[in-house]
Amino acid sequence: MEEIISKGELNFLQNNQLLQVIKEIELKKDELIDLTKQLISFQTPAPPARNTAEAQGWIEQYLVSQAFATDRWDVYPGDPNIVGVKKGTERKSFQSLIINGHIDVAEVRPEEVWKTDPFTAEVVNDRIIGRGVADMKGGMAAALFVLKLFHEQGIELPGDLIFQSVIGEEVGEAGTLQCCERGYQADFAVVVDTSDLQIQGQGGVITGWVVIKDPKVYHDAMRRQMIHAGGGLSQGASAIEKMMIIIESLQKLERHWAVSKSYPGYPPGTNTINPAVIEGGRHAAFIADECRLWITVHFYPNESYETVSKEIEEHLLNAAKADSWLKEHPPTFIWGGHSMIEDRGEVFPAFEVNPEHIGVKTLAASHQHLFSEKAVIGVSTTVTDGGWLAEAGIPTVLYGPGQLIEAHSINESIEIQELVNFSKVMAHFIFTWCHTKKQAE
């Protein structure tokens, strides 16, 4: 088992470097506020997306000014990822860290009534108001602020530090997945998304299409022959009506999951199957020959989207066998996708937090050091990009400022003191973790 930097060493370093950074966070609070406002001023809502290039260019230059080497590539035209890397002075011997966050924010609908311009942040009653301040430009700004203070204090970390500013999280796009596919790895990762300063894992989400199709098309004048005794057209059916069987079967499975599955921290029945959108038919003068049902499936942190989607398929195919027409024309399935905009599908893998992992313990210790109370280790009721990092084999946690109720809300806001506190915890954690020796092989 790895050992966290010794108390004596840490105290010495704190007195000379880390304590000064934490002091600077308080003294330069206005700089943190201005940085947060700057990020909010970049209008990066998704949808419509394809609008993050200016913001990402600004972050890239910010990282360069803090002596990070940067990597930039387009995930989609107008939507680049930015990764900054600062190699450690003894990188083979000390722990490495990924800090991950998304630059896109929730859309602002025309009917929303804001007290201020959503992209011109204002401070009201010790809170910053602006689109994305809680989800999650506040967390991004605080992390960047800490990196700047480290650079100003001349702090050189033994372990590698990687900062990822990704696109597309709001619409299920694969910004973080592409970072993993590009080969970025670390010993631990912190997604600084909305968690109200709790250390969290998460359940997962996958969307899917259930498709029913009749190989033949019939005029609606043929309906009598399909549904009445003696009609003689038993091989025809309305795909819309047959989809009713599928929806009822999904409801039965959802209720079964509610009593047969559970996970600590979640109310019973959190694992849901939502029939979100239905499309079918071609014209009022024809029997519907095709029907497509778009579903959203939420599952628990100890499950995978592969096994959950397979479970749904098996359940529906068995249900189809009980219907004479569906037995011959079973449903087909399309799962997931890389973008709710491009291909109308998404995946957010689940991940669990191991409280005994040295990275989790170190972060919890930093939290306790600053707050004089134990960190809450639990689960998020929403999803983030953290699942992709965990799926790539990187122990990952969600830990960031902001309350979930503020995410996507009108007049979205965050408490300034929470941003300050988060910055202090992250400074303490980054310093401690990157001074922690790797396990001897």
Cα gap 432→435, rounded to integer Å: 5
Check if 104 is active-site. yes
Cα gap 191→390, rounded to integer Å: 11
* One-character DSSP codes across 372-396: SSPPPEEEESS--THHHHHHTT--E
> Which one-letter DSSP state was computed for residue 399?
-
Sign of the CA dihedral with 135 first, then 428, 376, and 302 last:
positive
Cα gap 71→163, rounded to integer Å: 10
Q: Which of 268, 27, 269 is nearest to 153 (CA)?
A: 27
Q: Which of 108, 136, 47, 104 is nearest to 340 (CA)?
A: 47
- Kindly list the distances between the CA atom of residue 42 and the CA atoms of 31, 58, 145, in Å, as whole numbers in the listed order: 17, 10, 17
Tell me the pairing of strands 127-129 and 122-124.
antiparallel
Residues in the chain: 441
Q: Which of 79, 135, 169, 196 is catalytic?
A: 169
Contacts of 384 (CB under 8 A, 6+ apart): 169, 191, 193, 202, 348, 398
H/E element holding 141?
helix 138-152
Task: Find the helix packing angle between 19-27 and 29-41, rounded to 10°.
Answer: 70
Beta bridge partners of 396: 189
Q: Which of 24, 60, 79, 104 is catalytic?
A: 104
Check if 112 is active-site. no
Q: Is residue 33 within 8 Å of residue 27, measured between CB atoms? A: no
* One-character DSSP codes across 192-257: -SSSTT-EEEE-EEEEEEEEEE-SS--BGGGHHHHHSTT---TT---HHHHHHHHHHHHHHHHHHH
Cα gap 358→415, rounded to integer Å: 30
Beta bridge partners of 286: 219
Q: Is residue 174 within 8 Å of residue 168, measured between CB atoms? A: yes
Catalytic residue numbers, as ranges? 104, 169
